[in-house]
Structure 1
C-alpha cells in the first residue's frame, strides 16, 4: 500500500510541474551597471608604491602608483651622449675644415704630387726601353700600373683640397643638422618614457580592483586599476523577441531596486539585438524556441538617486 501511495505522489508532482506555466524571467528583470574604465602603465616596471586602495574614489590627475624603470634611465644617458655627439658634428660641418686640417691636406697633396711626377718619369723611361726591347712586357705593365695608381691618389687629394677650400657643402650641413634633431628627439622620447613611471588617473573613477601589489612587475598595457566612472549608472534588461513589442526607444518606465525596494524613473536609450549565440535554444524552456534576444538600456532620470546603487544589483520593471 505504501508503494502505491508513493507512486501516486510522484505522479501528482510531475502533473503539477507540467501544468505550471513557464516563468517569464527577462521581460521585467534586469541588472544595475556602470561604465567600466581601466588604467594601465605605458612602460614596463616594478611597482614601488601604490597610492590608492580598492573602493576609493579618485579624481583626474591623481597619482595611482609609482614604477621603477631603470632601463629608461639608461636610455636617457645614452640619448644625452648622442645629442652631444650630433651637436658637435653639426657645428663642425658649419665651421668647415680647421687650419691644421688644411695644412695636413696641403702636405698630403705635395707628397702625392711628387709620387705622381716620379711615376710619370719612370713610365717615360720604361717606354723608351720597351721600344728598344730592353724591358720585358711584365715589367712594363707593372710600371704602367704604378703610374695609374699614383694618378688616382693625386686626383683624389686634388678634389679633397678643392672641396675644403670651397667650404662644406650645404647638403652635409643639412645632414648634420638632421642627425642632431634626431638625437634630440630620442632624448625627448626617453624623458617622456621616464615620466610615465607615474601611473596617473586620466578620468574620475571609483576603484573596484587593483590587479597587482607593490614589488610585482607591471607590464606595459596591463590593466593595473579597474573601476567605474562616477555618475554613469544605467540598467540593462534582456528581453525575448516575443516581448520586445512592449518597449520603444525613448519610452519612460518605472523600475524598482530589489534589495532596498527603491523606485526609480528611467528612459530607454536603445534597444539592440544580442549576438547570435545569445538566441534561445532548448536549454532555455522559459522562452520560445529560437527567440532572438534583445538588450534594453535604461538611464535613470535622477542620477543622484541612482549613483549609489550597488553594481550588478537586481532591478525589476513596475
Structure 2
C-alpha cells in the first residue's frame, strides 16, 4: 500500500515540477548593437566651442562644435582681390583703350612721323652727294638704314593705334573671362571651406564620446565625436558551425530579453563568417575542434519604440 502511495506522490511531484519549468530558450545568446557613426573635420583648426555633451541625443543638421580656422579668412581676402583684378582686365578688354591712352599713342605716332620726315630729307640730300661721289658708300648706307627704321617705327605705331581703336581681340576677351571664372571658383572653394568651421551632425544620433576639449588642435580626418545612429538597433548573434544550418537569411525569429522578459520580433538580415581567429578550437571544449563561427545580424520587425535597449545588452533567441 505504501509503495502505491509513494508512486502516486512521485507522479504528482513530477507533474508539479514540469508545470513550473520555464519556457525552453535556446542557448543562442546575442547582443544589442547600434550602427556607429563618426564625425570629423576636413580642415585643421582649434576646437573653439563644443555644444553637446556625452550621452546627448541630437538631430541631423545640429551644430556639434565650431572650429577656429584663421587661414580661411586670409584666403577669402586673396580670392576677393583676384576677382577684382580679373574683373578690371575684362572691363578693359571690353571697353578698349581710354582717351588718354589714344592721345599717348597719337603723340608717339606724330613723333615717329617727324623722325621719318627728317630721315627722308637726310636721305635725299645724301643721295645727290653720293651720286656726285662726295660721300662714301658706308655713309650713304647708314642714312638709308635710318630711313628704313623710321618707316618701320611709323608703321608699327599706326598698326597699334588701329588695334587700340578696334578694341581687344576676341582671344584677349576670352582670356580675361577665363581669369575671372577662375578667381570666382577660388572664392567658391574658400566659401565651401569656411563651412567646415561648423561640425554638423550627419544624422540623428546619440553622442557617446568626445575626443577633444575646447582649445585643442583638431587635425584633418581625426574623429571628434563618436556615437550611434538613432533607430539603428540590431541584434548580433554568434553561432557555431554545427548550428548555423538551422538559420537562413530572411528567417523570422522571436527574441527575448532574459531580464525583462520582453519579446521582440526579428528577421535575419545577413549571415557572415567571422575572421579565422574567432574559430572555436580545443580551448573551448563545449564545441567541436576547429569549428567556424558565424554572425547573425537580426533586425527588429516589431515596434520597439516603447522598449529600452542598451548597447551590448544580452538577448536570446526564443
TM-score (norm 1): 0.78
The number of residues matched between the two structures is 292
Q: Cα offset for 1:275?
A: 4.3
The within-5 A match list for 1:93-132 is 93-115=93-115
What is the aligned partner in structure 1 of residue 80 from structure 2?
Answer: 80
Distance 1:153 1:239 in 2: 95
Unaligned stretches of 5+ residues in structure 2: 1-25
The within-5 A match list for 1:32-71 is 32-71=32-71
1:236–1:162 Cα change, 3 Å? same
Distance 2:69 2:75 in 1: 10
Distance 1:186 1:279 in 2: 54
What is the aligned partner in structure 1 of residue 251 from structure 2?
Answer: 251
The within-5 A match list for 1:287-306 is 287-304=287-304
Deviations 1:112-166 (A, max 9, x none): 344456667778859x96xx797587x8887787677656544433332221122
1:229–1:107 Cα change, 3 Å? same
The within-5 A match list for 1:103-182 is 103-115=103-115, 153-182=153-182
Which is greater in Rg? 2
What is the aligned partner in structure 2 of residue 92 from structure 1?
Answer: 92
Deviations 1:219-266 (A, max 9, x none): 232221110011111111222322211111121222333554543332
SS in 1 for 2:61: coil
Does residue 194 in structure 1 map to residue 194 in structure 2?
yes
Please say which of residues 114-123 and 155-164 is displaced more in the overlay: 114-123
1:118–1:244 Cα change, 3 Å? farther
Asked if 2 retains the 8 angstrom alpha-carbon contact of 1:72 and 1:194, the reply is: yes
Please say which of residues 177-186 and 211-220 is displaced more in the overlay: 177-186
Q: Cα offset for 1:69?
A: 1.4
What is the aligned partner in structure 2 of residue 231 from structure 1?
Answer: 231
Please say which of residues 139-148 and 218-227 is displaced more in the overlay: 139-148
TM-score (norm 2): 0.78
What is the aligned partner in structure 1 of residue 11 from structure 2?
Answer: none
Distance 2:293 2:148 in 1: 90
Unaligned stretches of 5+ residues in structure 1: 1-25
Asked if 1 retains the 8 angstrom alpha-carbon contact of 2:96 and 2:165, the reply is: no
